[in-house]
Structures are given as structure tokens and as C-alpha cells.
A = this chain, B = another copy of it.
Amino acid sequence: MREHNLGLVLRRVADAPAPVSRADIALVTGLTRATVSSLVDALLEGGLLVELEPRSGPQGGRPAAGLVLSDRGPAGLGLEVNVDYVAACVRDLRGAVRHRAVRRGDLRGRRPAQALRALLREAHAALDAAGNQGLVVAGATVAVPGVVDAADGVLRTAPNLRWRDVDVRDLLRRDARLAALDLTVGNEANLAAVGELDARPEGPDGFVLVSGEIGVGAGIVVGGRPFRGGRGWSGEIGHVPVEPDGARCSCGARGCLETVAGQEALLRSAGLDVPASSSLGGEGSVRLLVDAAQADDPRALAALTAAGRAIGLAASAAVNLLDVQAVILGGIYAPLAPWLTGPVGDELTERVVTSAWAPVDVLVSRAGTDAAVLGGARTVLDGVLADPASWLRRAGVA
């Protein structure tokens, strides 16, 4: 019962738009003042709440201390290993980003243990940054560009990394500092959807976030909650067929969205096929594509229109099947949105049955390329907010 009530009190503070008093908490939760005070004391001692200096009330009455979430207590660590970068971010309990880093580097053909060493370096830097700011990392979520088995956390397949059945968690836990953390592994597109949802408190509450990278994935939100499917394998929009007899995809099938609108296919058809070994890398090539489109280069414009149509075609399938209000362009599609939004929107208008009276919005990702690590860190923090008693036990607070 006390565990449940600790969660109630913490949730009240987290949900309030401004600092709240013990009296307000008692009123809203229906708990006695004495109970609330005892719970608040535990949450203060455990570093989950902090108390602001008393200020006079609006009526000029007795000044009440205001409680807010702590920015010096538990933090969430978001990690990501992707095809051509690794990333990390640290967020405090208020959601503020306290550290972020993205390091580019083509990881294709690298063995998992070797590739994860690059991630470990970023993880250590993030843990150091957290420690230097007085934060205690409560856990980490690792985003991976592939299908994760919900039962055992194993990455079943990441076609663009050419990895199969990789136990990312187990590999990372060979490092002593990460072994001390609660570690979970999740699909990067699903975690990006959590990050995007968090960055859009005003809605929409249903969307498909289409993230373009070397691979193309989608994170789905329906009714304000991430939709992960029966086994956590939802959102594989990169393998929705858009040209049934088209080019061969990394997954083995033909004409998947990835074969037209994946980063490499897109750069190639724009005539900007910079080798991965080049110092420019994928990000630099995308910047070249933006430059070419801004200069009205016909080949770049044609490639972007074709990619936009293909994204729109696959997104139409998604909206017709899932019934969401918006399609959000993320990953490399965010900087390219000025040229993609038109063709994507045209396809949606033509092909989504309900668009005649409920037009589908085409938006640009707010969380950006960091969406997956932001969502990963958010997931850790949501765990602390949902079960503060576990955190308090760890912190040695009765």
C-alpha cells in the first residue's frame, strides 16, 4: 500500500504544471496530511523530489513549500547503436537533456563485439557526465536497428548490420560499469516514437514516425501510447512493398520501401553516391543532397520526388491499416522534408480512404536524429516514476 501511495504522490508532482504543496497532494490523492508528509519525506530523502523555498501563497497567506521533481536524482541513459553511428543521451527526472553525443562511423561488416566497443566509449562518457552533474543513472535502454525478441531481449536480425541473433545486453554487460545498470534493448524506431511523443505534449496522439537512415523504420503511436504489436515487432515500414518487382532488398525481398527511399538508394539516384569509407560519411552526403536540392539540381529533385512518393505509398498502407492522424518524417527525412512533404502528402490524400474528411497531417520530427536515445532515456525515467519504491530501496531509503 505504501509502495502504491509513493507512486501516487510522485505522479501528482510529475503531472502538475507548477510546484505543488503537501496540502495539494493530500487534497488530490485523498491521503491524510500525515501520510503525505511521511511519503514526501521518503521521496525527498531518496532524491526523487526537491523542495523549493517557501513563497507566499496567492492569497498572501501562510507561505507553502513547493515540491518539484529533482534534477539531481535519478537519470535515464539512452544508448543507440545504428548502422552508421552510435549515440548516447542522459536525461534527468524532469526530462531535461543533461548530456548528448552522436558519433558517426560505418559499422557495417563489423562484428557485434567490435561495434559495441564504440558504443561503450559513448556510454562511459555519458556516465561520467551524469556523475559530474550529481546524477545517478537509474538504468539504460539500448536502441538497435532491428527486430528484438521481447522474450529474451536478443536482437534477432538487423539486416543492414548483417547481424543475426545478437545478445546485445549480454555483450554490454561484460563491461563492469554497464553490468551495474538495469539494461534493456529495444527497436530504435519504437523508441524514437516514445521520444517524439514526449516532444509533442500537445499531440497528435496517433502517428507513424517514419525514420530514414541506411534502413527505414517506423515507430507507431495510437491513442497516445506506443503500439508495439503482439511481440514488439511492429513498424517494419522499410519492408512494405512499394515496387513489387523492384530491386532486391537487404532483407531478401524485392521492392521494399528501403530499396527506393533508404539513405543509400536515395543518394545513389540523386547522383551523390559517396562511398561509406569517405570522410564525408552518410551525414555529409545528406548535407550535399540538401545543397543540391536547394540549387534545384534536377537529378536531386527527381530522386527526392520519387522517394517522397514511395514513402507516401507505404505510409498510406500504414494509415489505412492503423488509423493514425499524422505521418512524421524523421531521421534523414527531417532535413529533406521541404522536398518530401509534398509528394508524401499527395499520396496520402489520394490513397487514404478517410482523408476526404480527416486529412492526414505530414509533420517533421521534433525529436530529430536523437529521437531513439531521447525515448530510451524517457523509458528508464517512466520506470522510476511508475515504481519509486524500487528506487528508494536501491537508494537505501526505507
- Seen from chain A, the residues whose Cβ lies within 8 Å of a Cβ on chain B are 147, 156-157, 159, 205-206, 218, 220, 222-223, 228-237, 239-244, 251-254, 256, 313-314, 316-318, 320-325, 350-354, 356-358
Given contacts A157-B353, A206-B230, A244-B313, contact A218 B321 (CB under 8 A): yes
Min CB distance A232 to B, Å, is 7
Pick from B205, B313, B322: contact of A241, CB under 8 Å? B313
A314 vs B313: C-alpha distance when bound (angstroms): 12
Q: Do B353 and A323 touch across chains, with their CB atoms under 8 A apart? A: no
Contacts A239-B351, A353-B236; is A229 near B322 (CB within 8 Å)? Answer: yes
CB A259 to nearest CB in B, in angstroms, measures: 12
Per a CB cutoff under 8 Å, which of B241, B313, B321, B357 touches A236?
Answer: B321
Assess whether B354 is in contact with A241, with CB atoms less than 8 Å apart: no
Contact in complex: B232, A323 (CB < 8 Å): yes
Query: A317 contacts which of B229, B317, B325, B356 (Cβ < 8 Å)?
Result: B317
Tally of this chain's copies: 2
Query: Are A223's CB and B233's CB within 8 A?
Result: no
Closest chain-B Cβ to A359's Cβ sits at a distance in Å of 13
For the complex with contacts A147-B353, A239-B316, A252-B350, 20 further pairs of A-B residues with Cβ separation under 8 Å are A159-B353, A220-B321, A222-B230, A229-B324, A230-B323, A231-B323, A231-B354, A232-B323, A234-B322, A236-B321, A237-B320, A237-B321, A239-B352, A240-B316, A240-B317, A240-B321, A242-B244, A251-B353, A317-B317, A322-B322
Whole-angstrom CA separation of A233 from B351 in the bound complex: 14
Q: Name the residue of chain B whose CB is nearest to the CB of A208.
A: B321
- Evaluate contact between B318 and A253: CB separation under 8 angstroms: no
The residue in chain B whose Cβ has the minimal distance to the Cβ of A325 is B230
Q: Across the interface, which residues of B come within 8 angstroms of A206, CB to CB? A: 229-230
A256 partner residues in chain B, CB cutoff 8 A: 351
